[in-house]
Structure 1
Amino acid sequence: MSDIHVDWPGGARVAVMLTFDFDAETLWLSRDPDNARRPGVLSQGTYGAKVGVPKILEVLREEAVKATFFVPGWTAENHTARCEAILRDGHEVAHHSYSHRWIDPDFPDQEREEMERGLDALKRVLGVVPRGYRSPAGETSDNMVRLLQRHGFLYDSSLLDDVVPYRLALPGGGGEGPVELPWHWSTDDAPHALFSIKNPRPIFPNSHLREIFQDEFREIHRWGGLYNLVMHPQVTGRPSRVALLREMIGWMRDFPGVWFATGAEVAEAWAATQKSRAS
């Protein structure tokens, strides 16, 4: 594990990333293409765009914090107005594949297609050249790390192996890659609250999420690391969880030295600390 005590800007003790994977319907289409003819299943993703994103943006405006939205290219093409609203509010739009297809290392051509179609959609539709990337479901590969470097990404947020940023190593001893901003399933809303008829599981009460999210934050704050909260508009965009998001922001602000930042800001700040240490 890398050193914990990061010198965050302004003497902050902890960096907080509020991140939203704006999958919309791609979450369900990528799991099972047959869902294209199942409007009931797809409507969960539609809710995220129709209701979830506007309500989340409302909270972020009220609390005056910036967030990072990881957006598939398909979402940019099919929910353009919502993506434009995200940008108008000054939030970061980052790359989240084209269709939310999970990476399979046995098919590098498909990885490249997903990457490049997503890049094209974000630039063509939104005018965004993303600086960050998050893989669907945390599935990644050596080939994807090479693609991120080739396309000039500042950071990746796909791995779960630390609580502070670090520099990815390019496969095969090829040197340094992008900055990695780790996350974890425990601070992801989906394992606790995303339901599927084909994969049924309990939908836990908000008290369950609150306890896990807050316990993780307390200790990461003590360590001085990165708190990377992963949310989905179709999950956290539900009414009671919008309230939980508002509550979490206010609760974290009661701790000393909390820095809310986008993925690009966190990656830049961490990279700057490494340069100053080396000089």
Structure 2
Amino acid sequence: MTPISWPNGARCAVMLTFDFDAETLWLSRDPDNARRPGVLSQGIYGARTGVPKILELLREEDLKGTFFVPGWTADKYQDRMEAIAAGGHEIGHHGYLHEWIDPDYPDKEREALEKGLESLQRTVGVKPKGYRSPAGETSGNMIGLLQEYGFLYDSSLMDHISPYRHTLDDGSRGPVELPWHWSLDDAPYALFAIKTPRPIFTNEHILSVWKEEFSEIYRWGGLVNIVTHPQIIGRPSRLAMLREFIAFVRRHPDVWFATGSEVASAWAGLEGA
């Protein structure tokens, strides 16, 4: 692939994104979790402690992040939403209750999209430019819906390491895609559920994967899309891990840290040129 000519001569772009799911991560996985305070407390930690500490880290590092937020989370944690917006960070759409989309029920997919939009507008007056599907679960309807509702970009698919333009069924231009991958997501390594237990990897393991992925994407000239969750990355040692990753990236010349909308807009400008 040809390296992208990122703004100001940057070799690659880096997005720091935070899926602020709070309790929706657990409620959507199993409605019975609504009766389990211990399970939900993981999501509460993300809102109560994780988000403020992430905002503190970003402020100290002078960086802007992109927070993808379910509408339910925005409704419950308006104070955290206001803090995110006050910090100048981007707020994106992430469903309403972190629903895993079922392609057989397009009406429910539209309903979740609309409810999420209403919540973000009501709580912080934001019409999001970007969308990320919960858990990467999508349908064939999704891109058309995002175009219909005026989204600039999607960040739900894993089929490239650089942005690209979607083409709709009628051949017209759709949103820009900002691809991600599970290897640059903190959840596969450190999300634990007692009903589906799995090992929690060391921070050294996670960091080694992220560094190696960054190094090669940097060499290719693509997009490094880091996906994290306040209830995971917001743990004390993992915040230190994120800070170490940022320092590692900054040791490389010509790296552009940017929000999702900045990356999508820049790429769209290059496409037009």
- Which bin holds the TM-score, normalised by the shorter protein? over 0.9
Cross-structure match for 1:47: 45
Runs of 4+ in 1 over 6 A off after TM superposition: none
Is the 8 Å Cα contact of residues 10 and 256 (structure 2) preserved in structure 1? yes
Deviations 1:65-104 (A, max 9, x none): 1010000000000011011101100000000001001011
- Out of 36, 39, 48, which is 1:38 matched to? 36
> Corresponding residue for 2:237?
240
Pairs within 5 Å for 1:1-279: 3-170=1-168, 172-276=169-273
Counterparts of 1:59 and 1:145, CA distance in 2:
33
| Per-residue Cα deviation, 1:165-200 (whole angstroms, up to 9, x for no partner) | 000111x33411100000000000000000000110
Q: Secondary structure at the match of 2:73?
A: helix
Contact kept? 1:25, 1:44, Cα under 8 Å: yes
User: C-alpha separation between the residues in 2 aligned to 1:4 and 1:226?
Assistant: 12
Q: Deviations over 1:176-235 (max 9, x none)?
A: 110000000000000000000011000000001011000000000000000000000000
Structure 2 alignment gaps of length 5 or more: none
Q: Contact 1:4 / 1:163 at 8 angstroms: preserved in 2?
A: no
3-state secondary structure, aligned to 2:272: helix
Aligned partners of 2:105 and 2:171: how far apart in 1? 21
The aligned amino acid for 2:174 is G
Percent of aligned positions with the same letter in both sequences? 67
Distance in 2, Cα, partners of 1:99 & 1:169:
28
Aligned residues: 273
CA distance in 1: counterparts of 2:75 and 2:237, whole angstroms: 29
d(CA) in 1 for partners of 2:247, 2:93 = 28
Counterpart residue identity of residue 202, structure 1: P
2 CA distance for matches of 1:272 and 1:76? 31
Distance 2:41 2:160 in 1: 35
The alignment's TM-score, normalised by the length of structure 1, stands at 0.97
The letter of the residue matching 2:120 is L
CA apart distance, 1:4: 3.7
Q: 1: distance between equivalents of 2:173 and 2:198?
A: 40
CA contact (8 A) 1:96 1:135 kept: yes
CA contact (8 A) 1:165 1:180 kept: yes
Q: How far 1:251 moved relative to its partner?
A: 1.1
Distance 1:4 1:201 in 2: 39
The answer on whether the counterparts of 1:4 and 1:164 sit within 8 Å (CA) in structure 2 is no
Residue identity matched to 1:216: E
- Shift in Å, 1:250: 1.1
User: Residue 237 of structure 2 aligns to a residue in which SS?
Assistant: helix
CA distance in 2, matches of 1:5, 1:141: 30
Q: Is the 8 A contact 1:11 1:257 kept in 2?
A: yes
In structure 2, do the counterparts of structure 1 residues 38 and 4 end up closer, same or farther at CA, with 3 Å as the change threshold?
farther
Specify the SS of the correspondent of 1:142. coil
**Is the partner of 2:95 in helix, strand or coil?**
coil
Residue 61 of structure 1 deviates from its aligned partner by: 0.3
